[in-house]
Structure 1
Amino acid sequence: MKTIEFNPEKRKKLIEERGIDLLEIVYIIESGNYLEILEHPTRAHQKLFIINLNGDICCVPFVEDDEKIFLKTARYDRKYHKQFTS
């Protein structure tokens, strides 16, 4: 499996501003418990992990190469919440 990386400063910011911990997201991805991987609708070089995080749907944009996955950010998303919880 590819290694999963993120910016530690971004992790701190997400915890403070959104209550989202990228370490928890890494654990979900590594355990295979994400809901889906989608193409990013506006950024051709990115994809999206769709994750159920404590009952809310979280969208996690990422880029990848042959060796690693780099998580860009994470946000709760109402559009995907409707799609994946109905």
Structure 2
Amino acid sequence: MRYLVWDEDKNDKLKKERGISFEEVAELLFVGDILDVINNPSKNFPNQKVYVLKISGYVYYVPFVKDEEKIFLKTIIPSRKARKKYL
């Protein structure tokens, strides 16, 4: 079973700037509350997948990369486009 990891500095920045954290994302992932998993739409990151999650009534993209041992969460991005599609 893979475990989740993230950059603590990035997590602090997300808490301050967006009012959201990787801990919230981890809770949703552990209970399986995932709207979708898609390929990263950015051509710059072909090896990344993206969790699509509903958090506090809004839809967020959470890009990640995984290897044999872990899933590394990159950031948390609010998405109006995804909100229209998934809500």
TM-score (norm 1): 0.95
Partner amino acid, structure 2, of 1:74: I
Aligned pair 1:10/2:7, yes or no? no
Residue 63 of structure 2 aligns with which residue? Answer: 61
Residue 36 of structure 1 aligns with which residue? Answer: 36
Q: Give the aligned length.
A: 85
Residue 24 of structure 2 aligns with which residue? Answer: 24
Determine the C-alpha separation between the residues in 1 that align with 2:2 and 2:55.
22
Determine the C-alpha separation between the residues in 1 that align with 2:61 and 2:20.
11
Give, in angstroms, the shift of residue 80 of structure 1: 0.4
1:41-63 deviation per Cα after TM superposition (whole angstroms, max 9, x unaligned): 12211010000001100110000
Determine the C-alpha separation between the residues in 2 that align with 1:61 and 1:18.
16
Residue of 74, 81, 84 corresponding to 1:79: 81
Give ranges in structure 1 of 5+ residues lacking alignment: none
1:14-55 deviation per Cα after TM superposition (whole angstroms, max 9, x unaligned): 000011111010110111001110000122110100000011
Partner amino acid, structure 2, of 1:35: L
Partner amino acid, structure 2, of 1:23: E
TM-score (norm 2): 0.94
Deviating 4+ runs (over 4 angstroms): none
